[in-house]
Structure 1
Amino acid sequence: MKPWDRYRLPDSLLPLSYNLTLWPRLEPNADGLYIFTGQSYVIFQCVKSTDLVIIHSNKLNLTSFNGHLAQLTAEHHSEPAVEKSWLVPKTHYLVLQLQSSLIVGETYVLHTRFQGELADDLEGFYRSEYTENGVKKIVATSQMQATYARKAFPCFDEPAMKAVFNVTIIHSRDTVALSNGRETGTVDTNVDGESVRITKFEPTARMSTYLLAFIVCDFADIQSIQKNVSIRIWARRKAIDARQGDYALNVTGPILEFYERYYNAAYPLSKSDQIALPDFNAGAMENWGLVTYRETALLYDPIISSTGNKERVITVISHELAHMWFGNLVTVRWWNDLWLNEGFASYVEYLGADHAEPTWNIKDHMVLYDVHRVFGVDALASSHPLSCDEDEVRTPAQISEMFSTISYSKGAAVLRMLSEFLSEPVFAKGLSSYLNTFSFGNTVYTDLWDHLQQAVQSTPGLEIPHTIHDIMNRWTLQMGFPVVTIDTRTGSISQRHFLLDPDSIVERPSQYNYTWFVPIKWMKSGVHQQQFWLLQQTDSNTHMKVSGNEWVLANTNVSGYFRVNYDPGNWDRLIMLLNSNHRALSVINRAQIIDDAFNLARAKIINTTLALKTTKYLSKETGYIPWESALRNLNYYILMFDRTEVYGALKGYLKKQILPLYEHFKVMTEDWNKVPAGHSDQYNQINAISMGCKMGVEGCRELIKNWFRQWMENPAHNPIHPNLKSTVYCYAVAFGGHEEWDFAWRMFKNATVASEASRLREAMACTQAPWLLNRYLEYTLDPSKIRKQDATSTIQSIARNIVGMPLAWDFVRARWRYIFEQYGRGSFSFAGLIHGITRRFSTEFELEELKKFKADHHDIGFGSATLAMEQAIEKTTANIKWVAENKAPVMQWFSDESA
């Protein structure tokens, strides 16, 4: 195999710096194409003898120098002669074959000139379009992670190939240019007969190519200065004028300050720019010094946006700013350790957000949004470990697949567990030493374990049963997690690998045989006990033996990444406690009992009716986290049975349980005229109305229709509170006909706030009319109707609708080749498309269709949704078995309880 046929760069050359000039054209050329031109000088050192220069270059037209695609010069020796040069499209390389070898230790300069397309593909250097005052505007912007910098200029495009970047941008005089560094000067001049402005930026810190960013736009900004750091929020002028950037500006300073203290390291740059883009594939991207966001993740309109929008803005900002140190200052050596970057930011985003909004109790939400969420994926036999060998992640599609729930949410859950058993101060101490040791460099995950181990050893009185390496490797190098079973009759404790489908076969071997070192925090009849470590398959703890009415609850506040099962007697006592005095347990533990029970039942460890019993107390529950946990779990029953005769009885039971919550909020809000004061109460009010309408609570449907009708009659005045808009829009469209749909479409096209447009876009998928849904599916293929960044999520929204699911499935199958070519190669959201469409699949016929779909498109493939395809087949198989075994008892239980 030739070096240029391998996806990884040879280790013979080391980049030191780049001088890069780019000129994006914001007007189409004679062929109707938007282009950019540029030139790059990369200075590199030869560290191993070689007669090859291999550098990444993809989809760029390179200018010839004396018949070669680049020019090579030496700093101190005679110029190395190029024998031939060529491009390798498969591995994205530009290759120079030299007549003689480069000299080890010598520095060389590679000069390229190039032209690329400023396409609307959301990758590399691309264009984003929007309309302002009836005029089409173009933004040139960038997204380099993970492997797209090579589409903007020839570069050594691997995270360990850090260098200093000197960036110059040529742009029209009525626009502003931004990059990672601070602008050092602008000159107005003429180039090739055009009046332009040339903006130069300060050299960047030593950094990876995937963190580069360049933007040319005519946006406006608001700014503040904090400790000599210039903080700026950029967006469309109308959005800035409407003060949609104010909230982001207000929280950025406090969050940066929190991280400086937490990491014990100063913010490493001179400025912090954050910009909201009309077209953006990811939620946000942590480019060093110039963070890019979807508009919904950075902009907040106090009049139009909801509490949920506000929480999204603060958590995403907090996540991206966490990366300024962890990920950017210190970067993983290769993408196989991506979980460390993303899992870490997904954990500490809650700490940063909690510091800026201390009254929200936002740290509790991590259990719902990360821990419970990833349990579902990690309980499959097709899951994968957090960390894998470098050679398992080579191609761009394999790299893209690493950006998964496992990397983000399991990474966060496991690091939170580590922080819990070490204590936050010890965890932060180890982090600080790790960041200060490896500043501007690259690491592997074991480097972090080393520094945390040092922190443990320098903390008097802190004892852990094994080294950090030994404990954590079991959580990161093997997939899945344990279910811990406690028998309170004997005090015996055991663990085993938890699988949602107990009959599935785990093909991935584990050197640890699927056992873990499990830190168990627990309480006995309300009294917290000393932490217990389960270090083998079975052990015993006589303190967990109970008598009389005593009860045991393990994994308090879900600080550990595992599920808990008990003997039947203890389950009964916990359920009795919920029914008699549920506030004796924290909201997180009430949610945990429900979530564990439902999932243990799905895995056939306890019976289904025991899980259903955990929901009986809900008629007394007003807390958001337990209700949200219950509704997510009951949603599985809805998905499995909403096309069967079970649904009537299920609906009857849920109506009975939700009614007291609906009435509670009706009174609290003075007949829906006030907003609940508490942050999580505002979320639970949405649950009350949403489930109330879905299950047919009297008056709910009329309430929603009335609100929406008022808006239709006076479009300039929307009477619906922002928190309730998603729910009201969806049900109003579902209960209405094409008039309501067409009104929603008009409002969507006219929306000036991204979060409002997003809500309307989702709501239009709620219609029950097949012809409207089919028309809407067609719209997803037309970027003038639905933006490319929103196409796959719109199809998923349609698939969530019981009427829309078969239509979306037919649509995707019929147009797979086109959809794959548009979104499949590297789009993060692409895997979600397969998950979204197949969620209800629970019949042999659907399984056969799924397998046929996989076989029929073997030639095209599934790109970054390859694993999602395997998981869909696995989940459907499990669903079929579950329905066959549970349909009759579930039907019986709901019938009895709803009577």
Structure 2
Amino acid sequence: MTGITHAYDTFQPTHYDIFIDINRGTKQISGKSVIDGDAKQKDIFIQQKNMEIESVQADGNDVPFEVDNKKEAINITLPKAGETTLAVTYKATLTDSMMGIYPSYYEVDGVKKEIIGTQFETTFARQAFPSVDEPEAKAKFDLAIKFDEKPGETILANMPEVRKENGVHYFDTTVRMSTYLIAFAFGDLQSKITTTKSGVKVGVFATKAHKANELDFALDIAKRAIEFYEDFYQTPYPLPHSWQLALPDFSAGAMENWGLVTYREAYLTLDPDNTSLDTKQLVATVITHELAHQWFGDLVTMKWWDDLWLNESFANMMEYVSVDAIEPDWHVWEMFQTSDVPAALQRDATDGVQSVHVDVEDPAEIDALFDSAIVYAKGARMLVMMRALVGDDALRKGLKNYFAAHQYNNAQGNDLWSAVGEAAGMDIGGIMNSWLQQPGYPVVSASVVDGKLALSQQQFFIGAGEDKGRQWQIPLNGNYDAVPTIVSDKTITLGDYAELRQAAGKPFRVNVGNNSHFIVKYDDTLLQDILDHHEELDAISQLQILQDLRLLAEGKQISYASIVPLLPKFADSHSTVVNAALYRVANDLKKFVTPGSDEEKQLQVLFDKLSAKEVARLGWTPKAGESNDDQLTRPYVLNAALYAKNADAIASAHDLFTKNASDLSNLSADIRPYVLRNEVKNYGSADLFNNLLNEYRKSSDASYKQDLCVALTATPDAKLIAELIEKFEDAETIKPQDLRAWYRGVLSNDEGQQAAWDWIRNDWQWLDDTVGGDMEFTTYITVTSMVFHTPERLAEFKAFFEPKLNTPGMTREISMDIKVVETRVALIESEKAAVNAAVAEIVK
């Protein structure tokens, strides 16, 4: 949408004095926003949303103004252009949408309480104070907050509090920053605080519903992460403190507000004595992601939202770089390979997907940019690819120069490429723009043609796709000397295959390490050579074989049935990443069978065969001193054994439940969701259901609550499913922030799918009213599309969502998800018989 004027084009702020008076009882806000700035013309506008504007003054005199709610603007006529001080007096209300200034609700010992927090990204600072609410409009802020204060309450903001007068809390002047990074919060909080080597105060804050030791893990990770980043970026942390705050109600995962990072409780607080390793890794990467932003996004900010990827992709890469440095034994890059990489490859293969860099102007479209598989996962993969090309020395030198050149200001993608490219002596921009400016990725075909080894590239699609002849500059990372570092040609020939194979002494492969964003289709000769030596390959390479074959099968370039006989070859691996890839393929086979059918029984036998040896080796109970791989692999194989209806597995889980019935939270977190779900599915009753739901309401342990959600949504009892769906709109039981997981759980349950699907269609307006302003709202469409796989469900999906295609911010998601379901249905129809025959052949 060209031609939209930015508020910053009309008025450029330099300093804000903001006073906000918040009454929790009436949910009313009254305030005054005083803004020094440069009016570029007499007719200017600044932004507001859902406010009552009482007066506007310029340099102490009333001036004409008009509120334009559709444009979320205050149009102001000034007597003259130039340096001006605006003063806007206003009233507003606290929201219950988890955007702007809003209450978070929680209980301590059965007493209901609330704390007030903020969420201003993307365009919600304008709900808190009139402002030029655009990332380029950086200014300094003096914040003063008054509230109906109770004894012992804590108030936090981006900067330290400097004084309190007449019940007003005054905070130190911020550095130059964007409005969406302003934050404050107050309530009855507990904290733990430490100091980094360079003197930065680091604190973790949470409600008193949590045990004190639930703050320890986050405090340790945050402190060490800031110390790591100061060294890696060679740029000091620019503020006196870094507060991490867990909010009981929070729509996103976390938010990088400068100096006051806010989190979902699940991503900050954890029980150090009973939390699974994968949850610790997840929490650590969320913390380090947000702290990476304190430089990359906060110190230097994208100029406009079209460069959102610049913030998110970089932080997504750095979360792994930093955790790998501070906890090297975790091998956290393996988590990148099992989460971000498959998410990016899957999403980016659907025609119509957004590119990493997307032009956007309409504020209603901005939230739609937060496509985690593209802006976060694919973008991070691009940067991992770039890091592998230039090396850490050049990357760090380039970043240091980038921060020095743009600190407290704004930047665009090309500014980063210039800085890193200059440090590396490479045209990084030329390489990266071929990946960032166009959607999709290539499949590189490797084949022996007339005795010669040849490579070609073509865009890869899952489902129908229009081939527009796109080409990429591909870092090939081959294991033969003849392979060039970068290929941009459509086709290349490397030489005589027999000679190359003999000289190398190993099967030919490209994308070694799986760091470049493409997949490989080897011809039969090359693939068989790899498979014959698969045990000699490292774990990432084995993952990659299964990953690429699965995608090729989904793209109908090979038969899905051809992968089935390969699965037992990888089933005895002790590696988490291999098991992740193996069971990703195995679980995908479930879509080819009808629940309760003979074909499903065959598939269950296959699952039993795949998992039996590892279940026997690992057992149900985590052992002291066992490897990280064993800890992380156990859930995959136990889950498989339970799907297989293995009698010993079902009995073992029941036994564990019985032994821990007096306090189920004491079950080892590594296996707890499987034990609880097994009990609900195989030994369920209304009493058990109600007891677990009560446990969910009572607990403040986010990990335990997630496990209870997994279990309760698996009930096969239609009456209990109906009761559960009634709780979907009861915020006292299921918070809106957590509802998507409950919806997805019931939708994925064959016995509950119809009820969940009926609920979302009947109560869509309630859902829109409740979480519609949330950047994650469209993911309700996404999770629905991930479950549906029959022609009947496809028809219903289209009938419900197609009329909503023109809704701002939903168009791309709906059109893509229709393609996703269409593609899956077509694949099942064409491959079902062959896949089931292949399964039968293995298990006979």
Question: Fold-level match, TM-score > 0.5?
Answer: yes
Match runs of 1:23-62 below 5 Å: 23-26=21-24, 28-29=25-26, 34-46=27-39, 48=40, 50-62=41-53
Residue-by-residue CA offset, 1:861-885 (whole Å, 9 max, x unaligned) = 6554432221221012111221121
Corresponding residue of 1:177: 155
Corresponding residue of 1:66: none
Of 785, 793, 799 in structure 1, the residue corresponding to residue 741 of structure 2 is 793
Q: Does 1:741 align with 2:689?
A: yes
Q: Does 1:622 align with 2:567?
A: no
In the TM superposition, residue 186 of structure 1 has moved relative to its aligned partner by 2.2
CA contact (8 A) 2:16 2:36 kept: yes
CA distance in 2, matches of 1:437, 1:571: 49
Q: Which residue identity is paired with 1:13?
A: F
Corresponding residue of 2:585: 633
Corresponding residue of 1:230: 201
Q: Which residue identity is paired with 2:74?
A: L
Distance 1:803 1:686, change over 3 A: same
In the TM superposition, residue 58 of structure 1 has moved relative to its aligned partner by 0.5
Q: Which residue identity is paired with 2:362?
A: R
Of 438, 449, 466 in structure 2, the residue corresponding to residue 505 of structure 1 is 466
Of 509, 514, 534 in structure 2, the residue corresponding to residue 558 of structure 1 is 514
Of 577, 590, 593 in structure 1, the residue corresponding to residue 542 of structure 2 is 590
In the TM superposition, residue 843 of structure 1 has moved relative to its aligned partner by 2.9
Of 411, 420, 424 in structure 1, the residue corresponding to residue 379 of structure 2 is 411
CA contact (8 A) 2:482 2:494 kept: no
Corresponding residue of 2:782: 835
Q: Percent identity?
A: 26
Corresponding residue of 1:120: 96
Corresponding residue of 2:444: 484
CA distance in 2, matches of 1:432, 1:611: 47
Match runs of 1:8-19 below 5 Å: 8-9=6-7, 11-19=9-17
In the TM superposition, residue 523 of structure 1 has moved relative to its aligned partner by 2.3
CA distance in 2, matches of 1:335, 1:635: 37
Corresponding residue of 1:696: 645
Corresponding residue of 1:194: none
CA distance in 1, matches of 2:368, 2:837: 45
CA distance in 1, matches of 2:59, 2:780: 48
Corresponding residue of 1:762: 710
Q: Which residue identity is paired with 2:533?
A: L
Corresponding residue of 2:428: 468
CA distance in 2, matches of 1:590, 1:325: 36
Residue-by-residue CA offset, 1:835-893 (whole Å, 9 max, x unaligned) = 222323233322221221124446xx655443222122101211122112111111111
In the TM superposition, residue 704 of structure 1 has moved relative to its aligned partner by 1.2
In the TM superposition, residue 675 of structure 1 has moved relative to its aligned partner by 4.8
Residue-by-residue CA offset, 1:609-660 (whole Å, 9 max, x unaligned) = 3322331212321211011112122222213424465322222222111111
In the TM superposition, residue 538 of structure 1 has moved relative to its aligned partner by 0.2
Corresponding residue of 2:813: 868
SS of the aligned residue for 1:839 comes to: helix
SS of the aligned residue for 1:385 comes to: coil
Residue-by-residue CA offset, 1:295-316 (whole Å, 9 max, x unaligned) = 1111121233222221122111
My pick for the range that moved more, 769-778 or 152-161, is 769-778
In the TM superposition, residue 542 of structure 1 has moved relative to its aligned partner by 2.1
Distance 1:873 1:321, change over 3 A: same
TM-score, structure 1 length as denominator?
Answer: 0.89
Q: Which residue identity is paired with 1:275?
A: L
CA distance in 2, matches of 1:469, 1:569: 37
Corresponding residue of 1:886: 831
Corresponding residue of 1:221: 191
Of 427, 439, 442 in structure 1, the residue corresponding to residue 395 of structure 2 is 427
CA distance in 2, matches of 1:162, 1:640: 54
CA distance in 2, matches of 1:207, 1:547: 57
Match runs of 1:245-644 below 5 Å: 245-389=215-359, 392-457=360-425, 467-488=427-448, 489-501=451-463, 503-505=464-466, 513-523=469-479, 532-542=485-495, 546-547=500-501, 550-578=506-534, 582=535, 584-643=536-595
Corresponding residue of 1:73: 59
CA distance in 2, matches of 1:134, 1:24: 26
Distance 1:556 1:529, change over 3 A: farther
CA distance in 1, matches of 2:801, 2:466: 20
CA contact (8 A) 1:338 1:403 kept: no
Q: Which residue identity is paired with 1:541?
A: L
Give the CA RMSD over aligned residues.
2.1
CA contact (8 A) 2:367 2:775 kept: no
CA distance in 2, matches of 1:676, 1:637: 35
Q: Which residue identity is paired with 2:208?
A: R
CA distance in 2, matches of 1:523, 1:24: 63
Q: Which residue identity is paired with 2:168?
A: I
Q: Which residue identity is paired with 2:526?
A: N
Considering Cα pairs closer than 8 Å and 6+ residues apart, tell me whether 1 or 2 has the greater RCO.
2
Distance 1:823 1:752, change over 3 A: closer
CA distance in 1, matches of 2:199, 2:665: 43
CA contact (8 A) 2:368 2:775 kept: yes
Q: Which residue identity is paired with 1:183?
A: E
Q: Does 1:138 align with 2:114?
A: yes
SS of the aligned residue for 2:778 comes to: helix
In the TM superposition, residue 404 of structure 1 has moved relative to its aligned partner by 3.1
Aligned length in residues? 834
TM-score, structure 2 length as denominator?
Answer: 0.95
CA contact (8 A) 1:336 1:402 kept: no
Distance 1:602 1:695, change over 3 A: same
CA distance in 1, matches of 2:574, 2:401: 44
Q: Does 1:160 align with 2:113?
A: no
In the TM superposition, residue 278 of structure 1 has moved relative to its aligned partner by 0.6
Corresponding residue of 1:729: 676
CA distance in 2, matches of 1:17, 1:552: 61
CA distance in 2, matches of 1:472, 1:425: 19
CA distance in 2, matches of 1:693, 1:2: 55
My pick for the range that moved more, 314-323 or 134-143, is 134-143
CA distance in 2, matches of 1:456, 1:804: 55
In the TM superposition, residue 719 of structure 1 has moved relative to its aligned partner by 4.8
Distance 1:738 1:620, change over 3 A: same
SS of the aligned residue for 1:523 comes to: coil
CA contact (8 A) 2:622 2:670 kept: no
In the TM superposition, residue 11 of structure 1 has moved relative to its aligned partner by 0.5
CA distance in 2, matches of 1:52, 1:444: 29
Corresponding residue of 1:22: 20
CA contact (8 A) 2:622 2:631 kept: no
In the TM superposition, residue 351 of structure 1 has moved relative to its aligned partner by 1.1
Q: Does 1:683 align with 2:683?
A: no
CA contact (8 A) 1:7 1:91 kept: no
CA distance in 2, matches of 1:91, 1:402: 22
Q: Which residue identity is paired with 1:45?
A: D
SS of the aligned residue for 1:491 comes to: strand
CA contact (8 A) 1:60 1:115 kept: yes
Q: Which residue identity is paired with 2:186?
A: V
